[in-house]
Structures are given as C-alpha cells and as structure tokens.
Structure 1
C-alpha cells in the first residue's frame, strides 16, 4: 500500500524537482538507464570527504583503467595507489582495492544488494551502504551524508548539535524515503544539499521544500546544523631528507601498510611528533645536510603538519639504513609515483629552491 501523509507529499515534491534539475555526473545513470553498482560504489568511496569537482577526473581515470570491479581487483595495489595519489584519505584507496577483491572472491564479481551485506565489505560504512543499496538496487534506505544532515536539520529545525542529533536525523530521513524511486530520492537529497540548501546562504526562494521548512520559517536555517565546538588541532613536525644521486635519481621510501598514508611513497622523513629530536640519527644515510629555507605545511583531519626539508650536499656513506622499503626514482618519474599531497608539496618545495 502506498504511503500517505506529509512525508509522501514532500517526497513527491522533491522527486519532481529532481526530474527537472538533476545534476549530470559521470557516475550517475541517465533517465531510463539502470545504475551500475560498480560505478555507484566507486563514486561514493571517492566522494567521501571530497568535492564532486575534485572527484570527476579521478573517477573517469579509474573506470578507464579498470572498467569493472574484477579489473580493479586484479590490479596491483601500487597501481591503485598511484592512480589515487592527490585525492587524499589514502585508507580509502587501500579499502577500495580490498573491497574489490572481496566482491570477486565472495560474490563472484557482483555487489550484494542488501545493506547489511554491503556493510560487511571493507571501507563501506552505514552511509555508503545505504547509498549503494538505494541507488544501485532500489532498496528503501536513507543515505545520510553531510548534505542530508544539513537538509534534515533545517527542515525540522533540529537544534541539538551534531553528532548527538545523528539518530534523530537518520530516523527522519528514513521516514521520507518513498517506496518507489528510492535511488532517485537519495540522489535528489544530495543534489538539494549541494546546490540549494548549501552551508552558507541557502537559496530558500527556489527550494522545493521551502513551505515545509521549519528552519526557514523560524530564521534558524543558516545556523543549522549545530555542531559541538571543535577541539584545538595539534601541530606535528618533521624533517624530510631529499637525497639525489649524481645520475639524478631521488631516494623515496614506502610507508608502512598500516597507519597514516599507509602504503604510499614518501620522501624519507623523521618521526612526525610535536618536536623533532636528533633528526640526523633518523636520516636514511650519513651525509652533509643543507636546510632549505621555509616550511612545507599541510593539514590532516586531526592535526596540522610542518615539515622542514634537508638536502644532502655530499653523501659520505652510501649505505642506506636498514629501516625501510627504499627505492631510487628518476626525477622525471616522480610524478608517476604514489606520492600523497604532502609529499608532492615537498617535491615542489625542493624544485622551487
């Protein structure tokens, strides 16, 4: 039996708006097409903590290199990390590769339809599972990301700060999901938050839900959702060692698989901590060092990072310390390495000097 009431009315209004205003995105099925679970999953993983504009080129590169989940599963992890370099949050790339392998091994290369089964795969949390289940398979699941949290908080004037308001937001979002076109509804919610119900200056005049929005009526909308005060972000520091041989090859090191930037390549560096002590003892080899002026700065999710760069003027001992997975790379080949953004900043800093 079809649902009736204010929720079904709002759902119909939003779907009508979406039919006229849906964004055209490279991973999104066109009207009349069936959504490809692989493309839905790949895009949702890429879009975590990242903007649509930043993801488009990466998505198109990935599907060109690996058109199916089986192709991605068969690819070497290092190739996946190289293709991901610059997109950030590199645990996503490792989980992406692990998930592809699981889909092939456990499900014969076909994504499972159920939200619970999806959540059992690497890198797929509640939001991503709901999005895939709804968009790819039509399941009646709410996909609650930051955009949807903002929309629901404003529609219902929820003043409880995040994250405490998450259960109420999810319950109210789930109540709105229609029996039919659940995938279109999930994407409509995303589009509404991304294009109209924006963090700053929401365009309430053209919102399909303006008449229902308690946040707009009470004047609270621009201040919602509320968030608890952020803790002060600590600063960590380190020294990166730029070592270049006479033939122009540069020394790189692979970071441990587990932990921050796991499996990515780096310009060898000291331990990252509040204060750097005895950096020479942490250098990959003995050398005469010259400190470059200035700092390389980068902000991660939980800390700000300041990196000083030292260059080897004269290598006095060519024996590398036995403390890492080192390799020499030609300078012209560095762009093709799986370097995270902070290390690409190091390269740019050196080349500028």
Structure 2
C-alpha cells in the first residue's frame, strides 16, 4: 500500500495526468498498489506415530546418568490449488493488473518424513558444594504439514547437534552455574520467498543451504547478600555464524559465510535484584530488573544492523493472607529497540541502510496492577 510516513497514516493514490491536466488513470486503488501477491488454498491430512524411551541411573551417590531417544514417523497427504497471474480488467487502475487467480488445477503431495531425537548426559558431584555435568543431544525437526498444501514446496528436515559441559557450585542458598556449549545446525535451510515482478506474486524462492554453528558460554547464578536480599543474574556470550553455504540457484553465498546469524546477538543477559520483608503481618517483595541485548543483523550479509538495547523494570508484591497485590513497571526509561526487521523482505539485502530504520519494536514504558486470591 502507498501511505504517508507518519503516525496514523492516510492512504495515498498515485494518479497519471495528461498534458491538459485530465486524469488518465490511477496506479493505486484507495492506496492499494496491488490487489494481491499471494493466493493459496489447499488441504492436508496428517498422521504421526512416535516411540520413545528414557531412563535415569543413579550409578553412585555422586554420579548420575540419564539418556533418552524418541523416533517419529509422519505421513502428509495433501494438495494445493494452482494459481496464475490475472488482470481483472479495471482500466481505471493498475492495481488489478497483476493479481492472482486459481487455474482450476491442483498439485497433489504425499510426504513421509521421519525423525529420531536423542540426548545423553552425566552429572558428577565432587563434593556437597561443587559438581560438573556434560550433555550431548541430537535434534531433528521435520518439515511442517503445510508443505503438502503448498505449490512446489521446499521439503527439508533440519538437524542439530548440541554439546555442553558445565560446572556448578553452591554456597548456602547462593549458587553459580557456568556452561560452555557448541551447537551445529546441519543442514540449515536459510531459504526465503521473495516477490517476483514477472509473475506478480511472492513465489521467487531464493534457496540457501548450509550450516550454522553457535559456540559460547553462559553464566547463571544467585547471590544472597542476606536472607532477604538476593541478586539473580545471567549472561550469555556466543559467536553465532553461518558456515559452508551453497545456493541451488547459483547465487554466490561466499559473503554469507562467517557472518553473524540473523537476529542472534553475541551478548545478552539480565540482572534481577529483589528484597523481601514483613510489614504489619504482610509479606512484601520489592524487585528490579535490567536486561541487555547486543547488536544483531536483519540480513544474511550483515548489511543492516539492529542496534543493542536495554530495558529497566521494577515492581512490588504485597501478600496479605490469601490475597496478593502486585504492581509492576516495564521499560521504565522508555528505551527504544528493535527485536527484528521485516522477515519477509530484509533477509537478503537488508534495508538499504547501515542501521535498521523499521521493524518490530520493544514495548514502551508500561505498568500493570494485578490482584489475586488463593482459594
């Protein structure tokens, strides 16, 4: 649609005039540039069966092992109705010249994907205060049943392997967990659908396949300065990268390899202090929060940056018998931030700017009051 660039924008019409000033026609229709670029209809019958087993072994008082496996079998039986470009014949506007219409034909599909997921881990306590743990996991995500109701669908099972090892320690009620992790997605489907001006619809698939590797460390802990005052915190530092990309259409993926994964920050974390006390037979909890998200990118080529942002919150909860009263404020400084850009169009070339100029924003300053009663 063609609209103003302002809050509560009006739609605009783009008109063509003759030399004498007479209106020859309109590019738009009440602001609409194109009646439709997407027209879909189909149906799917899906069946799934699964078998799984898991168990935990207490080998000794200090050593615990656990493992599990789950296998799934799917059957998708469906169809999609085919469409074509159509001109609806309204000579006063161009908005109807490249719309979509059903041809009357259908495309049938039967897919039978299967997946097997497993995990295995071990935990060893060196003492009552110190311990360590390791874990390996394998994940497989089948294509959704929607592929059987799509025209010329891209059918791919995403697979991921994750390995982690960590150390934990406790000091009274305080604790600290430090975990290193390595995750590899192989294969990773980074394909997306773009607008095709030749057909007037979103049917131009730009397929990229490859690997994604994320390695890093995370810390999570709680520090009880007193029995009433505790500070919880977590921090993740990681390096999310695309690896070994190829393109089925011959596009050059070399500028993608080594780049930061879309919308994945390298650093993020939060701090959450809280203080509890009694007042006139009421339990009072006062708490705050600070969260930080590092910079990310909207596109494969890391051309448009999503800047880092933070948020500060605070709240108080009063418990009186079975009644509870809670007042919470979020993003108290009204900080600005974008969680993502336009996932339908930005992923290939960004937004044409070094920093994102539009996207999905974080919520602004807000407050809520909740009253509840336990029965």
In which range does the TM-score fall when normalised by the shorter chain? under 0.3
Higher helix share: 1
* TM-score, normalised by the number of residues in structure 2: 0.22
Higher strand share: 2
Please tell me whether Structure 1 or Structure 2 has the larger radius of gyration of its CA atoms: 2
* TM-score, normalised by the number of residues in structure 1: 0.23
